[in-house]
Structure 1
Amino acid sequence: MAALFGKPGRNDGGRPLSAEDLEHFREWSSTRAGIDGYVEPSTVVNQLSLLLVDIMGEYTRRPIGSWGEADRLGRELGVAIYDAAATGYPRRMRERDEAMRLKAKRERAERIREEFRRADRAERIREEFRRADRAERIREEFRRADRAERAEEER
């Protein structure tokens, strides 16, 4: 149970590590290098969890039952385990998050620009059709006038 006041205990429990989460951690760590583990304390919103961060700043997070489970998993995976509340998160993770946020922002801006370009192109095409339609109406008006003039001359 999470401590309501003061510092939570080291066995601040959450949901025990599930078989699916264990398999996820194993698979994730088998495809990456330079991994460190960070135990995140439980909060009102989140359970005690383990965050694994690789050398490139990619990370994965899953609930873990206790510090003991985190330590056992760290030994199994060959990963150093740190207290996130004491050490903070690694710079590489923060930098990657920031880079991903900037990339998403640029992509969103480009999508918006492209939508404006499409809308502008569509408006130009509509205007071109309007002009072509006006020109056709004017031509038809001249044809009628010519026909009417010829009909007058024939009478």
Structure 2
Amino acid sequence: MGLLDRFRVGRGASRSVARTGASEVSALADWARARRGVEAFIEPRTTVTDVTAVLVASDGEWTRRIVGEKGARRLAGALKIPVYDVNRTGYPQRMRDFDARRRIEARRAREAELGD
């Protein structure tokens, strides 16, 4: 059984749902393998989205995908990374720091364009 086989949607689900779920999980797995110190944070279902998984690398870079709670926990187990409930732990400071650095870099780039 391959790494992503266990995430495939079972009977009764449409093929498009299965493909979407598998592609989301595949994207997260690829992302996690390309970075160091990755942890998973499970976000609760909202009125707009199902349960999502946020993967955060050691430098604070992050990505988010809709995979459902079971899919997120299986992914974390398969990748052997820690998984946390964001309602209990909150988001890591390094994630907020990463976003702040990106905003500063974007502002400086806009200012440099205007200054030329």
Aligned length, in residue pairs: 99
Shift of 1:113: 1.3
* TM-score under structure 2 length normalisation: 0.78
Please tell me whether the aligned partners of residues 41 and 83 of structure 2 are also in contact (alpha carbons under 8 angstroms).
Answer: yes
> Aligned-residue CA RMSD in angstroms?
1.6
- Secondary structure of the 1:73 match is helix
What residue in structure 2 maps to residue 7 of structure 1? none
With normalisation by structure 1, the TM-score equals 0.59
What one-letter code is carried by the residue in structure 2 that aligns with 1:82?
Y
Q: Which runs of 5+ in 1 are unaligned?
A: 1-14, 115-155
Matched with 1:92 is 94
State the identity %: 34
C-alpha contact (below 8 Å) 2:43/2:54 kept by paired residues: yes
Partner AA of 1:83 in structure 2? D
User: Residues 5-59 of structure 1, C-alpha deviation per residue, up to 9 Å, x if partnerless?
Assistant: xxxxxxxxxx777111111111111111101100011223333100000001111
Unmatched 5+ residue regions in structure 2? 1-16
**Greater RCO (Cα-Cα under 8 Å, separation 6 or more):** 2
Which residue is 1:27 aligned to? Answer: 30
| Deviation, structure 1 residue 69 | 2.1
Q: What code does the residue aligned with 1:52 have?
A: L
